[in-house]
Homo-oligomer: A and B are copies of this chain.
Amino acid sequence: MQTDRYPTTVYLSAPEMIRLVQLMGLPACIAGVAARIEREFLRWNEFDKSARVACHSDVGVIELMPIADKSQFAFKHVNGHPTNHRHGLPTVMAFGVLSDVETGAPRLLSELTLTTAIRTAAMSALAARTLARPESRIMALIGNGAQSEFQALAFRDLVGVRELRLFDTDRAASEKLAANLVGQGLDVSVRQNIAEAVRGADILTTVTADKTNATILMAHMIEPGMHINAVGGDCPGKTELQAGVLEKSAVFVEFEPQSRIEGEIQQMPADFPVTEFWQVLNGQCVGRTSASQVTVFDSVGFALEDFAALAFMSETAAQLGLGEIIELVPHAADPKNLYGVLRDGFAPVTASEQVPAMFVEQTA
């Protein structure tokens, strides 16, 4: 009875998420999140979707990304601040919540910095597995910051990439990435420039941080059959591809209304043709049409990916016994008497709330 009345909120802190990933193994987490994203994308029309809400400043952006189905509401608070490393902070930090649509009660509060890195890589690899040539083995990885190891491992496991060619304007970042990938079954080399990294690759992944209209990839660099995984261009004024790259490619996006604002296609006319990726997944639209076609996954990050990641992490944490119960909502004995909690003093957490529901039902 008590457990039914009180809206328990589970908190997964950053240290507990690290522990979760260590216990599961990063490859299993990436694969699990990718499978969950695929499952959720296949029921696309069951979700109440909207473009995220962004608050822009001179130095970065803070975004809220909500989404819901009939039973759960999810949102993520995430920032993108390319110069955060100067403060010793990650470019991207995030946390999120799962709530019950039935009552509005928050049920999970979770770190999502590490989880966003995992879900972004999982999404990229899921798209590439569907859109890249099946025999793709060589990937150029441009931008070797916090997200890069996750991309490398996701493409190794989900796509079959075996060779990685690294480039970053910060050579130390490439060396950090190469060092982290030692002994992980990938042939890794650091290249002198983008053109050298790109030449002859099957897949090009761009994951740079600068909030600018950059041209990391130019049309003349693109060879027939390449798949481009464009991750870093993800808000107005922040792109990585020369418009000519898009003109010669078949372009796939997550949620078109958001991608028109935030993606590489913000450079293109409003009627530039794109395909929503979920339609390729469910067979409604065609993906790659030939071995020589160039495909682009113009990724910006969509709330449904976080919904999937929150669901996976929540279920995994429950299996592993991770997470703690926090009192984010006051526990009023009479819900119409909120004022009463001020008279009753601290809302007590009774011992019965800390034991499994089944036991409580037997003894209540």
Hey, which bits of chain A sit against chain B, CB under 8 A? 4-7, 11, 13-15, 17-19, 21-22, 26, 48, 50, 53, 55, 57, 59-62, 64, 66, 68, 70, 73, 75, 77-81, 84-85, 87-91, 93, 95, 97, 99, 101-106, 109, 111, 113-114, 117, 144-147, 149-150, 170, 173, 176, 180, 326-332, 334-343, 345-347
**Interface pair B330/A18, CB less than 8 Å apart:** yes
Q: Is the CB of B53 within 8 A of A70?
A: no
A59 touches B99 (CB 8 A): no
Contact B346 A18, beta carbon cutoff 8 Å: yes
Contacts of A75 in B (CB 8 A): 64, 77
Residues of B within 8 A of A60 (CB): 103-104
Query: Contacts of A18 on B, CB cut-off 8 Å?
Result: 330, 341-342, 345-347
Assuming the A-B contacts A15-B347, A81-B103, A103-B87, are A341 and B5 also in contact, with contact meaning beta carbons closer than 8 angstroms in the complex? no
Q: Are A17 and B77 in contact (CB under 8 A)?
A: no
Q: Which of B62, B113, B149, B335 contacts A101 (CB 8 A)?
A: B62
Query: Do A331 and B176 touch across chains, with their CB atoms under 8 A apart?
Result: no
Residues of B within 8 A of A5 (CB): 87-89
A17, B101: Cα distance in complex, Å: 25
Hey, which chain B residues are within 8 Å of A147, CB to CB? 338
Alpha-carbon distance between A78 and B340 when the two chains are bound, in angstroms: 21
CB of A336 within 8 A of CB of B64, answer: no
A208 to B: closest C-beta gap in Å: 12
10 A-B pairs with the lowest CB-CB distances in the bound complex, closest first: A79-B104, A5-B88, A149-B339, A146-B338, A14-B330, A90-B335, A55-B68, A14-B327, A145-B336, A85-B335
Bound Cα distance A77, B104 (Å): 9
The CA-CA distance from A73 to B330 in the complex, in Å, is 24
13 extra A-B contacts, CB within 8 A, seeds A57-B70, A77-B99, A114-B342: A6-B88, A14-B327, A15-B346, A18-B347, A55-B73, A59-B102, A60-B103, A64-B64, A79-B99, A111-B330, A113-B338, A144-B336, A180-B343
A-B contact pairs, 9 of them (CB 8 A): A14-B327, A14-B347, A18-B342, A18-B345, A53-B64, A64-B64, A79-B105, A90-B332, A180-B339
Q: Are B99 and A328 in contact (CB under 8 A)?
A: no
Asked if residues B55 and A84 are in contact (CB atoms below 8 Å), the reply is no
Q: Are A114 and B345 in contact (CB under 8 A)?
A: no
Residue from B19, B85, B173, B336 within 8 A of A346 (CB atoms): B19
User: Does B21 lie within 8 Å of A176, measured CB to CB?
Assistant: no
Chain B's closest residue to A83 (CB) is B103
Contacts of A337 in B (CB 8 A): 146, 176, 180
Bound-complex Cα distance A294 to B250 (A): 62
Q: In the bound complex, what is the Cα–Cα distance between A85 and B81 (angstroms)?
A: 42
**Cα(A119)–Cα(B102), bound, Å:** 25
Give Cα distance in the complex from A6 to B327, angstroms: 25
Bound complex: CA of A95 vs CA of B340, how far in Å?
Answer: 19
Q: Which residue of B lies closest to A57 (CB)?
A: B101
Which residues from B are CB-within-8-Å of A48? 55
A80 touches B104 (CB 8 A): yes
Given A14-B347, A62-B104, A64-B64: A173 and B330 within 8 A (CB)?
no
For A109, the chain B residues whose CB sits under 8 A away are 109
Question: In the assembled complex, how far is the CB of residue A47 from the closest CB belonging to chain B, in whole angstroms?
Answer: 10
